[in-house]
Structure 1
Amino acid sequence: MAHSIPNNSSQADRDLLQKMPDLLLSMEYEQLISDVKSLYRFMFDQTFTR
């Protein structure tokens, strides 16, 4: 994860990101992906089911 942090971010930001729990990050990503899937499904239904 550390290698994807931009070089132009401050040292404090990098330290904070490195201390952030991977579990919390992955849970947030799973929730985001779930929300996106729900949104696409909703849009698909609105578009193709009349």
Structure 2
Amino acid sequence: MNYEGEVDDIHYVASLNPLMVDGEVMEVIGTAIDFTEKKEVKAEFENWKN
């Protein structure tokens, strides 16, 4: 499962992956990447371009 979110002006993409053993979820492995700066730079570029 992947999704994007925002908390306190921090934009991130997160991924949750179940670790299955014999058909049962034993653990969930989660990762998140902060892409706030990239989003801000893209917005600045779009404003500059227009």
* TM-score range relative to shorter protein: 0.3 to 0.5
TM-score by length of 1: 0.40
When you count helix as a share of all residues, which structure comes out higher? 1
Structure with greater Cα Rg: 1
TM-score by length of 2: 0.40
